Amino acid sequence: MDEDGRARFGEFAAARTAALIRTAYLLTGDQHAAEDLVQSALAKTFARWRSLRHEDPEGYVRTAMYREQVSWWRRLGRIRELVTAAPADVATPDPSNHADLRVAMRTALHRLPAPQRAVVVLRYYEDLTESQVAEILGCSVGTVRSRTSRAVGRLRELLSAESVLEMTP
């Protein structure tokens, strides 16, 4: 690759890495795994940089990122658990910026099965259409619809159960 191509890739990576890591964190639930996922996707993108359409290289990176994560979930074949020495402290409501709602949503999101979490992130965080999500995940539009429906229902259950717990003394 020529110096101009390297420079353009470097500018792209510097400008979009933070946003890509935020999305990767939603998929992985772990900061280090998110960074690894983005690094892997950027490495794949760099290898193909010359042949990419430079109008939307981010689409290629995000697709590589999602597919890599789905492959990892399939290889893993089990649910990861975070073991801690003590239970988490009970959160108190934060009326300033609804940080408690963001934490509750993130916690509920990470309790979803990996395929449902991927669909929710792609549909609602990335604001992609059902057909775009189906193409990225390599499944049918019907599968995307059913996973979305189940995921949203489960999120409602988790979030309503959590709000009931917060109201009890």
pLDDT digits (tens, 9 = 90+) for 106-136: 888 889 998 899 999 999 888 889 999 999 8
User: Do 39 and 98 sit in the same domain of this protein?
Assistant: no
For residue 21, the domain's CATH number is 1.10.1740
Q: Based on the domain organization, do 61 and 99 belong to the same domain?
A: no
Higher local confidence (pLDDT), 64 or 163:
64
The tens digit of pLDDT for each residue in 81-113 reads 566 666 666 655 555 566 677 788 888 888 999
116: containing domain: 89-169
CA atoms of 137 and 141, how far apart (whole Å): 10
**123 and 69, same structural domain?**
no
Q: Locate the DSSP E strands across 4-161.
A: none
Task: Determine the Cα–Cα distance for residues 151 and 112; give it in Å rounded to an integer.
Answer: 7
CATH number, position 99:
1.10.10.10
**What is the pLDDT, as a whole number, of residue 163?**
58
**Which residue is it, tokens 């400008």?**
15
Instruction: Report yes or no on whether pTM surpasses 0.75.
Output: no
Per-residue pLDDT reduced to its tens digit, 17-47:
999 999 899 888 889 989 999 999 999 888 8
Q: Any idea what DSSP says for residue 124?
A: I
- Looking at 61, 80, 99, the residue that finishes a domain is 80
Q: How far apart are CA 137 and CA 144, in angstroms?
A: 9
